[in-house]
Amino acid sequence: MCDPLCHFSEINTPTPTESKKESIAIAFMVLDIIGLVTVILLLVLYCKRSSKFKNLIKRRHFEETSDGDGMKLVFMADDGGFELNELMGAAAEGLGKGVCWDSYKATLNDGVAVVVKQLRGLKPLMSKEEFMKMVRMIADQKHPNLLPLMAYWCSEDVKLLVYRYAKNGNLFNRLHGGRGSRDRISFKWSSRLTVARSVARALEHLHLNSNPSQCTVPHGNLKSTNILLDDDGETVLVSDYGLASSMALPVAAQHMVSYKSPEYQTWKRVSRKSDVWSYGCLLLELLTRRVSVHSAPPGINGVDLCKWVKRAFREEWIAEVFDMEISMEKNGTKGMEKLLEIALRCCDESPEKRPEMADIAAEIDAIEAVEADHGAGLSAVQSLTEEGFSMHASSAIVDSSDGIS
C-alpha cells in the first residue's frame, strides 16, 4: 500500500515522452530568442553603418558655414552634379575607417552611387591653398585607366574628395575572393594581362605628367585594393593616386606602399622608382594569387613576394610560382614568364636598376594573350569582373574603397 507522498509522486512525475516534448519546446524557444537577438543586432549594426556618413556630413562646421560658396561641392567637369545638401541627405554607409582617410558610399536621389573620402593624416597645418594645389594636380590627370576625381569640398576642419563608385569591386576581391568555392569562375590569364597592361599605362601617364618638384612619387600607394573594375566589366581603373605627397610623413611611412620599398627602409627616401617597385609587387600578386605582405589588408596575412619568387628561382621550383588557375593555360606560358621577368626587374633592390614605366608599358603591350582551351567558354567580362565568383562564398572580401592605406 502506497502512502500519500508516494501517490503524489506518481501523479506528478512526467513521463519520458512528456519530458522529451518539454525539452524540444524549450530548445525551440531558445532558438527563437537567439534568432530575434541576432536580427536586432544586425539591424542595429546596419543602422550604425548607414548613419556614419550622415553623422559626418551633419557636423556643426557644415551648418555654421556662412559663405554661400562654402556650402557647395566643387565639380571638376561642367556636366551638372549635385548639391552638398543632397549628399547630406543621401542614404549612406561606411566603407572603411583608416589612418589616411575614412570612406563612405552614398546613394543619391537618382540612384547614382558615389564614394566620399574624408581625408585624414594630411601634413600638419596644411592650408586650404595647399589642399587646392593637390586637388588641381589630381584633377589634371586624365587617362582612361585613372579613376577621375568628381568633386571636392574643403573647410578648415574637413576635406572631402568625391569619386564615382565602381560597383564591380577591386582587384584584391577578384583575385582572392571565393577561394576554394565551386562558384568561383577562374581569373583567366588574358584578363590578368589586361589588368597588368592597364595599370602600366595609367602609371606611365602619371609618371610622364607629374611635376617632380610637386610630387616625389606620383602614385605612392599602388596595391590591388586600389585597382578598381569599372561598371562595364572591361575597364580597369587605378584609384587613390596623387595623395601620398600630401600625407604627414609618419602616416605615409607606416601606411603607404611605396614607403615599404627597399630604398625607404634603407635610406628613408622615395622616388618614382618606388612606384615601379610597388607595380612589380602587384604583378607578382597577379601571377601567384598570393597576398603581398606590403599591401595586405588588416587581419590578412601576406607573403614577401619578391623574396619568395627569388627563392623559387634559386631553388629551381619556379613552375610552382604561378597560380594554378593560369598555369593550366599552357598557351600562355611564354607570356606569363615574360611578365614574371618584368616583375622581378621592377622589384630590384636598387632603384637605379629598375626600368622606367614607359619602357615597362611598351614591353607589356608586346606580350600576346593567347587563349587556351581551358576556360574557353568564359567571356572576358566574366573573367575580369566580380561575376567570376560568388560574393557569399568569399572569405577574403575587401571593399573597393576600404579607406585603409
User: What pLDDT band is residue 71 in, cutting at 50, 70 and 90?
Assistant: low
**With 80 as the cut, is the pLDDT of residue 111 above it?**
yes
User: What pLDDT band is residue 181 in, cutting at 50, 70 and 90?
Assistant: confident
pLDDT > 90: percent of the chain: 44
CATH 3.40.50.300 fits 60-164, yes or no: no
Model pTM?
Answer: 0.79
Higher pLDDT, 246 or 391: 246
**With 50 as the cut, is the pLDDT of residue 397 above it?**
no
- Per-residue pLDDT of 330-340, as tens digits, reads 889 999 999 99
pLDDT of residue 61: 47
**With 50 as the cut, is the pLDDT of residue 60 above it?**
no
Range(s) for CATH 3.30.200.20 in the chain?
Answer: 60-164
pLDDT of residue 316: 82
The answer to which of 19-28, 188-197, 356-365 has the lowest mean pLDDT is: 19-28
- Which CATH superfamily groups domain 171-388? Transferase(Phosphotransferase) domain 1 (1.10.510.10)
Higher pLDDT, 192 or 55: 192
pLDDT of residue 403: 38
User: What pLDDT band is residue 394 in, cutting at 50, 70 and 90?
Assistant: very low
**With 80 as the cut, is the pLDDT of residue 387 above it?**
no
Higher pLDDT, 97 or 12: 97
Range(s) for CATH 1.10.510.10 in the chain?
Answer: 171-388
By the 8 A CB rule, do 166 and 146 touch?
no
What is the rounded distance in angstroms from the CA atom of residue 242 to the CA atom of residue 123?
14
pLDDT of residue 315: 85
pLDDT of residue 326: 94
Mean pLDDT of 268-283: 97
